[in-house]
């Protein structure tokens, strides 16, 4: 009888130099494999990626599971209430992708604001001199001196703020969570704002909030209309935080300067997603990536190592997991 069901390939771990723990019988499956429900009844721990479709609550009822370990920060694949009812601990690895997400935000903000991304097609079309002249005349901006507005100043949001501050940006933020590290906020000179005020004043808006009822379509048509006409929106949080149709309309009408989108209301996005059907002009101000903002070799090394450490703590050491979201453990 296996000890652990892991819903990501074993090769993922070895590719970044992380060896799953010895002494445990680990079985690897895809979430759509037909035998997953049966295996779930037997194993004592489930290891899953943070990104993927929600898992049916029925999978977790009346099982031998003691731990669900997420190899990332996101918690929206599982029903926490059901895990609590069943006495199954849930743990994630918060903060493991901080540097990768901060790199994503700064790289895309610069690529859009300085026109790098939009320059490829004109040069391919033979318009080198004309496009260079247009870029020089546009007086394109780097991050230094711009205001970066962070929506959600948790662990990742703070890492993004610190990276942007190090590049010379002014930091404003909107956050309704617990009181943040005042020392860190003072160090980077971060200023709190209401969401609407932040949108009206920021040159770059970067989203780092979880997808919950209060954040669904948080950035809708009305809030996009508040943004500066040359402002850039970056969403590396969850797709449904932004109204995709409203964002597409704002880009098409030139009401905002550009956007970088890493996450979608449906993943993978369907062919009729409005962000995939923009005109060439609007598309030149939009960078799309496939939910990889937090993906780097260094991030995966940390996330995977911490995830397996928790599995060992619970199944071998009989200790509670680190970063427990629900903590009610079944007895061994």
User: Tokens 């629900």 belong to which residue?
Assistant: 326
- Run of H or E residues at 108: helix 98-113
Peptide bond into 40 cis (omega under 30): no
Long-range interactions of 161-164: CB distance < 8 A, separation 24+: 161/188, 161/190, 162/102, 162/188, 163/102, 163/103, 163/105, 163/106, 164/102, 164/105, 164/106, 164/109, 164/204, 164/206
Q: Are 44 and 69 in contact (CB under 8 A)?
A: no
pTM: predicted TM-score of the whole model, two decimal places: 0.85
Bridging pattern class, strands 286-288 and 191-192? unpaired
Catalytic residue among 8, 285, 291, 302: 291
Q: Is residue 291 among the annotated active site residues?
A: yes
Give the tens place of pLDDT for each residue, 39-63: 999 999 999 999 888 999 999 999 9
Question: What pLDDT score was predicted for residue 181?
Answer: 74
**Catalytic residue from among 77, 131, 193, 238:** 238
pLDDT of 38: 95
> Which candidate in 29, 61, 180, 267 is catalytic?
267
Close Cβ partners of 219 (under 8 Å, ≥ 6 residues apart): 207, 233, 235, 241, 242, 243, 246, 247
Predicted local confidence at residue 33, as pLDDT: 93
Q: Which residue has 């617990």 as its token pair? A: 178
Q: What is the DSSP string of 135-176?
A: HHHTT---STTPEEEEE--SHHHHHHHHHHHHTT-EEEEE--
Residues in the chain with pLDDT < 50?
Answer: none
Say if residues 129 and 187 touch (Cβ distance below 8 Å). Answer: no
CA angle 211, 290, 265 (to 5 degrees): 35
- Whole-number Cα distances in Å, 20 to 13, 95, 141, 183: 7, 21, 46, 38
């Amino acid at each position: 009888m296996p000890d652990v069901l892991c819903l990501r390939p074993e090769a993922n771990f070895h590719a970044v130099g992380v060896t799953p723990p010895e002494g445990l019988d680990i079985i690897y499956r895809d979430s759509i494999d037909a035998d997953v429900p049966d295996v779930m009844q037997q194993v004592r721990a489930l290891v899953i990626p943070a990104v993927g479709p929600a898992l049916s609550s029925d999978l977790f009822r009346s099982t031998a599971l003691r731990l669900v370990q997420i190899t990332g920060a996101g918690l929206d694949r599982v029903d926490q209430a059901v895990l609590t009812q069943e006495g199954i601990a849930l743990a994630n690895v918060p903060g493991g992708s901080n540097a990768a997400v901060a790199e994503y935000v700064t790289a895309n903000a610069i690529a859009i604001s300085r026109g790098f991304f939009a320059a490829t097609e004109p040069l391919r079309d033979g318009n080198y001199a004309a496009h260079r002249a247009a870029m020089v005349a546009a007086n394109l901006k780097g991050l230094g001196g711009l205001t970066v507005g962070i929506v959600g100043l948790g662990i990742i949001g703070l890492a993004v703020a610190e990276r942007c501050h190090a590049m010379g940006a002014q930091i404003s933020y909107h956050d309704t969570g617990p009181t943040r590290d005042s020392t860190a906020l003072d160090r980077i000179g971060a200023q709190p704002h209401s969401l609407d005020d932040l949108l009206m004043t920021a040159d770059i808006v970067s989203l780092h909030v979880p997808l919950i009822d209060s954040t669904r379509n948080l950035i809708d048509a009305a809030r996009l209309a508040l943004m500066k006409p040359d402002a850039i929106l970056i969403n590396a949080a969850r797709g449904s935080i932004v109204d995709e149709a409203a964002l597409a309309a704002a880009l098409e009408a030139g009401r905002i300067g550009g956007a970088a989108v890493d996450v979608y209301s449906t993943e993978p996005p369907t062919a009729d997603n409005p962000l995939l059907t923009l005109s060439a002009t609007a598309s030149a101000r939009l960078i799309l990536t496939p939910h990889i903002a937090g993906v780097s070799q260094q991030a995966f090394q940390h996330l995977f190592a911490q995830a397996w450490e928790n599995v060992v703590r619970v199944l071998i050491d009989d200790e509670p997991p680190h970063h427990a979201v629900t903590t009610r453990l079944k007895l061994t």
